[in-house]
Structure 1
């Protein structure tokens, strides 16, 4: 089964980005970082989500991200589906931290259950078909709005979301141009998907 084995973010300053992600979320090995000045404006068409076990952990991770230099986009709050908050990292990447739990079962931790890469797509049917043809297995599909693929052995799960809906979910305008500033590593690559997201040969250096 094809899956994501690595995610690399293009950032202006890899050293500063490494310090941020380590301090904010404790992500030391799960992300690749490389220097890039590729032009980009507005919404880059993707988000990264951290799924955790309880509200206290959501608040703790969002708090540490803001202390490390992130910009709040949506404050930590309850919703009908759970509890979550959204920040923009100093390098411009948008991160959501969320849980389906409504109540805490213990003190806050920094433990992350899942990392999910959500790609904003214009044509859900076409993008879903594209990835299925490259070996990914659909685990969940909601009309033409959302598709989640079965998790592989790598540290990151993949899901597709309508671009405008994804932007609305994290509190930003859907408008944006230029580089996505992200490269996805996996056994199905190299290729570029219908929305311009580039897949490369997986980096063996990244592991859970």
Structure 2
């Protein structure tokens, strides 16, 4: 038991790998979009249909920067699922990359205080789960450190020093609604999480691999 606790205490998300059908096309897109340093890519012919159950969310400084990222994504071939618009919480948009990955770009600012930049303040991998509390407990049991949470609706984990991306949980149905897509989906999630706790699969089928193993098979 002591060995398990010691191992779990050092668990963290170290990378996010997107599985794509066309590796070169995906590389070109993510370079043009401006997020290529945040994700790894791996060729895969796994079938997937509908909602994959996750989104990658970018937090930026202001509306002009949101527009800049949306424009870059659309110009590189992304589909705009939700055009940039103001809301109660700020300003944001949702786009879907040619490989099927959904990205949300948002800011809490409703007015620009400066010109658009290409800077990203935070990247969050938000996975849609059936039971937020149960999945949170599962990950805490694996050694991830819990951050803020809101009942059974949302939970996040403290990012490790080596990870550029924070992991968070949201109800699957609520996440699909927020992104403007149907909740149904089947097949592969099209994403693999890299971590320091070895290989495992969570309660909703999201696969983790050891950081060393992923590094040897991704670009």
Q: TM-score, normalised by structure 2?
A: 0.90
1:128-178 Cα distance to aligned partner (Å, 9 max, x none): 100011111111111111001112111110000000000001000010000
Which has more radius of gyration? 2
1:17-48 Cα distance to aligned partner (Å, 9 max, x none): 01101101x12332111111101110001110
| Residue aligned with 1:9, SS | strand
1:95-140 Cα distance to aligned partner (Å, 9 max, x none): 0000111111110011011111011000112101000111111111
Structure 1 residue 38 and structure 2 residue 49: aligned? Answer: no
Matched length: 204
Give the Cα–Cα distance (whole angstroms) in 2 for the partners of residues 59 and 94 of structure 1. 16
| Residue aligned with 2:104, SS | strand
Which one of 166, 169, 172 corresponds to residue 163 of structure 1? Answer: 172
2:4 match: none
Higher mean C-alpha deviation, range 65-74 or range 186-195: 186-195
Give the Cα–Cα distance (whole angstroms) in 2 for the partners of residues 126 and 189 of structure 1. 21
Q: TM-score, normalised by structure 1?
A: 0.95
Higher mean C-alpha deviation, range 113-122 or range 196-205: 196-205
| Residue aligned with 2:77, SS | coil
Which one of 117, 134, 154 corresponds to residue 109 of structure 1? Answer: 117
Give the Cα–Cα distance (whole angstroms) in 2 for the partners of residues 187 and 139 of structure 1. 19
